[in-house]
Amino acid sequence: MERWSGRVALVTGASVGIGNATARALVQHGMKVVGCARDVDKIRETAAELQQAGAVGQLYPVKCDLTVEAEIRAMFDDIQSQHGGVDVCINNAGVATKDRILSGSMEAFRMMTDVNILAPTLCTQLAVQQMRKRGVDDGHIITLNSMSGHRVGGLAFYSMTKFAIKAFNDGLRMELKDMKSHIRTTCISPGRVETEFIPRIYEDDPQKAQDLHAAMECLQAKDIADTVLYVLGAPPHVEVHDVQVRPTEQK
């Protein structure tokens, strides 16, 4: 990770869970991390905590609603003006609802599509543009998928958005190779992780979320942050393209 010290990473959905753990890990390895979320108070708290602990890097909180294209573009403009541009883009933010294909609301489907598909696509477009404009040829795009992007469970529409991320990652790699670029792209698909993600899905049934977390020894956010570090730390000639990470006890 030494070669990433002092360089700029964007982490979406950095207020809690995997995004927060990843932002922490990158700052501790000396990176300048722009952490975005709709609620930046928790990112500010994390930034202050890291600074007080003497972390080598720095965390910069940014408020951004990833369902609004103009806010994403404005965020990248600010990153360019304040930090020069992105070297690593981590598309972590994701959302799921219980809405089923035959009965779900179009509002919920649009929200999942906006956050899970369109936002990573736009962030990746803008990140690669900034990298190429500065001649950065060793950048990295990391997108958080899910095991739901490899098999369909009870949340079928959510799975649809995550299956799309598999196609996105494969297509992105092909386009980068067509451009003769050495920018790497990675998709990380976690299984069940004990974060705020499941409780948010079942906010009207907290016991359901507790039971799902208690059913096995779940992954922790740090486990996925460690996976990000592994992927980033691979030698420049090694591209870890697709990673599936599950709890040992999960089928």
Report the catalytic residues.
158
88/23 Cα distance (integer angstroms) = 12
53/215 Cα distance (integer angstroms) = 35
* Residue owning tokens 């905590």: 49
Look up residue 169 and give its amino acid: N
Q: Is 81 exposed, middle or buried (0-12, 13-18, 19+ CB in 10 A)?
A: exposed
Residue 177: half-sphere exposure toward Cβ, Cα within 13 Å: 8
CA 219 to chain centre: 16
Assign 239 to helix, strand or coil: coil
